[in-house]
Structure 1
Amino acid sequence: MPSINSVSFDTSKWEAIEQLDDRIIWKNDTADRLSLHFFPIPPDLPAPITNLTKLRNFYRQNVIQAGGGIISIDIVSVKNVSAIKTIFKFPMKSTGMRYIGSLTFPFANFSYVIKIDCPESGMTGVRDSLVHALVIKDFDPKDPFKGWFEDPYDKTRQDAVMWSKSDDEKYDSQFPDHPLSRARKYLTEIPTNLEFTNEVLRAKPF
C-alpha cells in the first residue's frame, strides 16, 4: 500500500508545522496553509471521475451543508493521473471569506488530497467592490446586484453562498494578493513538480 510519502512536490517556500502518517501541514508567511492528506480506504465519491455532473452535484451539496459555496469543480490530469480540482469559499466568523482549493487524486483503494487554505485578512471586500464598479453598467440600475451571484454550473440555483462575478479568474492578475488569486496560483504551481512513486502510478484507478 502506498503511503503519505508516495507523493512529493516543492514545499521549499513553506514551513512544516505537522507531520503524521495520514497528513502533513505547512504554513507560509501569508497565513495560508498547505496540506497533503492520505486516505488508505476506497474513496467515497458517488460516481466515476468521468461523471463530472454527478461529482459537481455531490460536492455542491456537501459544501452548502458546511455553509460554503462553490467557485469551480473540474477534472484535470496531473502527470497522467486524473484529479478533481475544486475551489470553494466559506464566510469567516468576523468578516471576509476563506478560500479552500484542492486536488483530489482518487484510486480504487486509496486517495490523496492536496489542499490549500487561504483566508482573507486586512480590509476585506475590496476585490468585490472594485469589480462591481467596473461591471455595474451591465446590470439593471433598479437592481445593481441582480445576476452578481450565481452558481457556475446551474443558473437556476439560489444558495446562501455563491460564486460572484468578482470570483472570475480573469480578475486574478489585478488582485494578485487576494486569497482567491493565491489559491488558484498554488493549484497551478503544485502540479508542475508533483511526483508519484511507481507504486502509486501502478495502482488500480478509481
Structure 2
Amino acid sequence: MPISFDTSGFRQLDQNTWQHPSGDQAELTYYGVVPDLPAGLDDLPRLRHHLALIHGETGCLIEAHVVQLAGVAALLRIVKMPLPDQPNGQGFVCSFTIPKSNCSAVLQLGAMERGMTGTREAILAAEIGFQNWTKSHPYAPELQGVLPFHAGDDPRHDARFPDHPLARARAWAHHVVRTAQVDPQFASLPPYQVQPPPPVAAGQTLVTALPSLPVKDFVGLQIGEQTTFWRMSDPKLREMLGRGLMGRSPLAETRFRDMLMIDPETGEVMIPDRFTTNGEMTAHGTRLTQVTLHEADAELSDEDVLDAFRWAGQMCGEAAERGEYLSLEPIENQGEQADPHVLLAVQPHEGQPMAIAQFSPTPTEGPLAGSPSRSAPATRESVVGIGLIAGMAVNEWRSHPLRMAITYKRPAG
C-alpha cells in the first residue's frame, strides 16, 4: 500500500484494517480513480470551505490542514458526526488523504464515544459559558450544519480529556505525521489538480440534462421530455454520478436528481460541482457521443447490466452516510414519487442498520413475486446486493437500465 504507519498497540484485523484496545479502528485504502476533492491542496481556503459544506450535511468538519507525510503533501481532516442509531454520542474520524492525478491513498482512524457520552462538552460548556459555546464555522461562516462548530473541540482542551475520542484522534494524527512513510513510486506520481471549467464557446447552447444509471460506457439523458442515449468518452461523469458531488435538479420538495449541462449538437458537457465558493461555480468538462438505444444495447453484456445495479446498491450505502436514501425509477418520472419505483435505503431497525429494498408495485413474477420489500443486516455485500434485487424488479417492468435513474430522497423534515 502507498502509506505505511506505526501500528504499535494495534491488532491487525485484515490486510488494511487495525484495531486499538480502545476500540479505535485504523483503515488504509487505495482508490484508483481521480480524487473527488473539491479543490487542490494548493488552494486551502477553497478546499476548507467546500469540505465544511460537504461534511456539514452529516456532521461537522472540525479542522483541515495540509501536512507533510515523509515529505509528501497530504490533506489532514478531522470530522465529527452523530453516532448512527444512537440518541447520544459522537464519532470522530481523522483522515490523511494523499491525492494524485489519477488515484489517491487514504489513511484514517475512527474513534467513537462509548459509555457515558458528552462529559467533555458538559464540563467545558459550564466553564466557557453557553453564550460563548457555539461559534460560526471558521471555514464557512454561512454554514448551518448537522452538528455545531463549538468551543469544546479546541485542541487546547485535549490534555484535560486525553481519553476523549477527539483527543485520541488528534494524538494519533500527530504520531502519524512524525512516523508515516510513503512509497517512493506513489510519491513520484503527478499531483492532483482541479481542472478549470471549460469555456463555453461562442454560439454554444447548453441545456439541462438529467442522467440515468451508467451502464458500462453508456448513459441515458433526459433532456426536456426526450430520453437520449450517449457514449461516455472518459471516466469523469461516471466518477461523479450518484455520489452527491454533482449539481442537483429538484424534482419535488424532498426529491433531487443529478444534473449536467450539455450541448446536444456537439456533445460538449459541463458537470457542475454541487457546492460553490462565494457564489462561484466550478465545473468539469467532458464529451459525450450520441447513440441509439439499440447501438448501446448491442455492446452490453448481462454482466454489464448486473454491474450497473451493483453500483446502484453501492450508491445507496453512500447516500445513507449523507442522511439520504434513493429511489430507482424510470428516468421520465419527475415531480412527486410515482410507480413503478424501488426505494433503496440503509436504515436502523431495532438498533441494527438494515439494507432495504421496497418495491412499488409489488412484483407479481419471478423470485420477488408477492414481496413488497426485501431486507438484510447492512454489510458491504448486502448493500450491493439490494441493488441487484432492485434490478430484478426493473426486469419485471421490462425497462432498460439506461431508462432508469437514481433520485435522491431526504426524509421529510
Distance 1:17 1:101 in 2: 19
Distance 1:36 1:10 in 2: 12
Report if aligned partners of 1:70, 1:162 keep a CA contact under 8 Å in 2: no
Instruction: Give the paired residue count.
Output: 190
What residue identity is the alignment partner of 2:35? P
Residue 46 of structure 1, CA deviation? 2.8
Report if aligned partners of 1:36, 1:115 keep a CA contact under 8 Å in 2: yes
1:13 match: 9
1:51 to 2:47 alignment: no
Distance 1:166 1:175 in 2: 11
Structure 2 CA distance for partners of 1:57 and 1:156, relative to 1, 3 Å: closer
Return the structure number with greater relative CO, CA threshold 8 A, min gap 6: 1
SS of aligned partner of 1:128: helix
**2:134 counterpart (116, 140, 148):** 148
Distance 2:126 2:41 in 1: 39
Cα distance per residue 1:41-93 (max 9 Å; x no partner): 2212232211112212322232223x211101111122221111101101113
Range with greater deviation from structure 2 (56-65 or 27-36): 56-65
1:32 to 2:24 alignment: yes
Distance 2:142 2:102 in 1: 36
Which runs of no fewer than 5 residues in structure 1 stay unpaired?
Answer: 137-143
What residue identity is the alignment partner of 2:80? K
1:139 match: none
2:191 match: 205
Report if aligned partners of 1:72, 1:152 keep a CA contact under 8 Å in 2: no
Range with greater deviation from structure 2 (171-180 or 75-84): 75-84
Report if aligned partners of 2:5, 2:180 keep a CA contact under 8 Å in 1: yes
TM-score w.r.t. length of structure 1 = 0.86
Larger Rg over CA atoms:
2
Structure 2 CA distance for partners of 1:173 and 1:146, relative to 1, 3 Å: closer
Residue 148 of structure 1, CA deviation? 2.1
1:106 to 2:99 alignment: yes
1:183 match: 169
TM-score w.r.t. length of structure 2 = 0.44
2:109 match: 116
Percent identity for Structure 1 against Structure 2:
29
Report if aligned partners of 2:17, 2:27 keep a CA contact under 8 Å in 1: yes
1:68-147 alignment, distance < 5 Å: 68-92=59-83, 93-94=85-86, 95-136=88-129, 144-145=130-131, 147=133
- Report the RMSD for the aligned CA atoms in angstroms: 1.6
Report if aligned partners of 1:34, 1:114 keep a CA contact under 8 Å in 2: yes
